Amino acid sequence: MAVNLDALDFEAITRREANRSRGNLIVFTVSALVTLIWLVPFYYLLVSVFKSTAEYGSGNPLSLPHSIAPFADNVVKVWTDAKLGAGMFNSATYGLIGASVAVFVAAMAAFGLTRFDFSGKMFWFMLIFAGTIFPFQMYLIPLFFTFQKVGILNTRFGMILFYTAICIPFPVLVLKNFMSQLNKEMDEAARMDGASDLRVFLSIVLPNCRGTMLALFLLQFTWIWNDLLFSTVLGNTPEIRSVMNALQVFQGSYSSSGPNIVLTGSLLASIPSVLLFATLRKHFMAGLSISTH
C-alpha cells in the first residue's frame, strides 16, 4: 500500500502549527489576566484621587469620578495637612546624599579589593558583604540607643549617616564583580606614565563604571525614598520625617479625611522616584546589562 509522504508531512505540520497556536493563545490569555489583575490597583488609585471625600464615600470606589476638579483640593489638603513638602525635601536630601556617598565609597572599596593585594583582603570583603546577609530589623534597637547616646537621634546628619552606611555593602559586591572584569593593563600603562593610584581610580576606573554606578545609585535612592521602618524609629520629629513617615502620620492623625486624600499623597510621593527612573532609565538598563555579564 503506497503511502503519500507529502500528505503525512502536511498533516504533521498542520498539527504542530495548531498546537503552537493553542499554546500561544493560552500564554496570551494568562498574560492578559495577570496584566489586568496587576493594573486594578492603579485604576483604583487613579479614579480615587479625582474624587472628593463625599463622592468617594457615597459611591462605588471603582466607579469613574464625576469631575477632575476635586484633585486640586485633594493635593492642597494633603500638602498642607501632611506637610508633604517637608517630607519630600527630607527624603530627597537623604536619598541624594546617602546614595551618592554610599556608591562612591563602595567604588573606592571595590577598587582596593580588586587592584591591591593586602593581608586579610577576603576578610574585609566578607565583613562588608555581611551587611547584606542579616535582616535590617536586627539593627533597629542598637541603632536607636547608639544614636540617642551620641546625640544624633532625630537629626538629618544621623539619618544621612545611617542611610550612607547601610547602602554601602550591596554596591561593593556589584562593583567588585564588575571591576574585576576590567582590563588591568590600562592601570599599568597609566602608572608607567606617572599616574598615582588616585588618578587611576578617578580617570580610568570610574568612567568605565559610570553605568553600573548610576544603576546602583537609582536602586539605593529608591530604597531610601521608600523606607518607612528606619525613618520612623530614627527620625520621627516633624522637621526630620521622611515622606513615607509623613504619610503614615497623616493617615493615622487624619483618618477622617478619607482614603482618597491618602491615595493622593501616595501618588505625589511616588512622582520623584518615577521621574528619576525615567531620567536615568537609559543608564540604568545599560548598567544592569553590563553588571550581569
Q: Model confidence over 164-190: pLDDT tens digits?
A: 999 999 999 999 999 988 888 888 888
Task: Round to whole Å and give the CA distance between 255 and 187.
Answer: 60
Higher per-residue pLDDT: 93 or 258: 93
CA atoms within 13 A on the CB side of 25: 6
Average pLDDT on 249-272 reads 82
- Is the pLDDT at 48 greater than 60, yes or no? yes
Average pLDDT on 33-44 reads 88
Q: Which amino acid type is present at position 66?
A: H
Average pLDDT on 3-25 reads 66
C-alpha dihedral sign at 54, 60, 63, 66: negative
* CB of 74 closer than 8 Å to CB of 140: no
Task: Round to whole Å and give the CA distance between 67 and 65.
Answer: 5
Identify the pLDDT of residue 160: 96
- Please state at what angle helix 259-291 crosses helix 243-253, rounded to 10 degrees: 160
Higher per-residue pLDDT: 99 or 251: 99
* CB of 261 closer than 8 Å to CB of 53: yes
Burial of 71 (C-beta count, 10 Å sphere; 0-12/13-18/19+) = middle
Task: Round to whole Å and give the CA distance between 77 and 49.
Answer: 12
Identify the pLDDT of residue 1: 45
> What is the overall mean pLDDT for the chain?
86
Quote the cell numbers at residue 101.
556617598
Which range has the worst mean pLDDT, 107-111, 116-120, 209-213?
A: 116-120
Q: Which one-letter DSSP state was computed for residue 65? A: P
C-alpha dihedral sign at 64, 68, 74, 75: positive
* pLDDT band, very low/low/confident/very high, at 62 (cuts 50, 70, 90): confident
Which residue reads 483618618 in cell numbers?
255
Average pLDDT on 284-293 reads 59
Which range has the worst mean pLDDT, 21-30, 140-149, 220-229?
A: 21-30
Average pLDDT on 279-288 reads 71
Q: Which amino acid type is present at position 227?
A: D
- Is the pLDDT at 254 greater than 70, yes or no? no
**pTM for this prediction:** 0.83
Task: Round to whole Å and give the CA distance between 94 and 102.
Answer: 11
- Is the pLDDT at 161 greater than 90, yes or no? yes
Identify the pLDDT of residue 288: 59
Average pLDDT on 15-35 reads 80
The share of the chain scoring above pLDDT 90, in percent, equals: 38
Identify the pLDDT of residue 139: 85
* pLDDT band, very low/low/confident/very high, at 220 (cuts 50, 70, 90): very high
Identify the pLDDT of residue 91: 95
Identify the pLDDT of residue 276: 87
* R_g of the chain, CA atoms, integer Å: 27
Identify the pLDDT of residue 287: 60
Three-class SS state of 134: coil
Task: Round to whole Å and give the CA distance between 53 and 46.
Answer: 14
Identify the pLDDT of residue 10: 61
* pLDDT band, very low/low/confident/very high, at 163 (cuts 50, 70, 90): very high
* CB of 94 closer than 8 Å to CB of 216: no
